[in-house]
Amino acid sequence: MAAASLILIVEDDPKTSALLKVYLEREGYQTRSAADGTQAVDIALRHHPALIVLDLMIPKLDGLEVCRRIRQTSDVPILMLTARVEEVDRLVGLSIGADDYVTKPFSPREVVARVKAILRRTIPKVPAGAPILTSGDLTVDQTKAKVTAKGKVVTLTAIEFRLLVRLMHSPGTVFSRAQLLDALYTHDTVHVLDRTVDVHIGRLRDKIEPTPSQPTYVLTVRGLGYKFRDEDDR
């Protein structure tokens, strides 16, 4: 069980790490710090933080490798810090499990705002008594935030869960990337790319589709967006 307010700061620059620590603790969070990738993985697996602020360029293991290793056993939200502003770097990070980015130089207040926004959306907000959604061998219990495929429980991140629920609520309806971004991210999350949706769709398909390269649940509508299958697609 993640500590409710423990934030792991992974940053090899002592001044930046100390500054983030001050701002986060001022907002009531507890913090732990790691100065290299090996230490970061160790702390993350032993202390189960609620969120990780992860610099991309750190010694021993870089941020992407740290993210890969943590994602093998944990869905803890990860906010990456990077000086690489190219779109490909952002998408590579998201494809291995980063939840959001802040580019350097940044304001500590912006990092705190992102942390708050990510934590607000970490636990899906579902009304009590929400219906169970089913399609073929796929079942989504919204109240329990539980997904099963072919009788096996599937572990989704909060974003993947919301994405699946949004699509399943309106089978056959085509959603643009912009519409899905509005459903996934809060208004105070900025610099989120449209193609981020493609990454989340890919990760969702890997988890729920019998053959991810030939999806049968979440379908692409070329030039328009995505939809969940309806009776005409089966």
- Whether residues 118 and 88 share a domain: the answer is yes
Domain boundary among 92, 122, 152: 122
Tokens 């967006």 appear where? 225
pLDDT at 3: 45
- Whether residues 36 and 103 share a domain: the answer is yes
Q: What whole-number distance in Å separates Cα of residue 15 and Cα of residue 181? A: 34
- Answer yes or no: is 1 within a domain: no
Beta-carbon count within 10 A of 17 CB? 19
What residues contact 40, with CB distance under 8 A and at least 6 apart? 8, 10, 34, 52, 54, 58, 61, 66
- Whether residues 32 and 137 share a domain: the answer is no
Report the number of distinct structural domains present in the chain: 2
- Whether residues 169 and 113 share a domain: the answer is no
CATH of the domain at 86: 3.40.50.2300
- Whether residues 71 and 160 share a domain: the answer is no
Rounded to the nearest angstrom, the gap between the alpha carbon of residue 8 and the centroid of all alpha carbons in its chain is: 16
What residues contact 93, with CB distance under 8 A and at least 6 apart? 56, 63, 64, 67, 80, 82, 101
pLDDT at 125: 53
Domain range spanning residue 228?
Answer: 132-233
pLDDT at 129: 56
- Whether residues 109 and 148 share a domain: the answer is no
The pLDDT tens digits along the chain (234 residues) read: 344 479 999 999 999 999 999 999 999 899 999 999 999 999 998 888 989 999 999 999 999 999 989 988 887 889 999 887 666 666 677 777 788 888 888 999 999 999 988 887 765 555 555 688 999 999 999 888 889 998 899 988 878 888 999 899 889 999 988 888 777 765 444 445 567 788 889 989 999 999 999 999 999 999 899 999 987 666
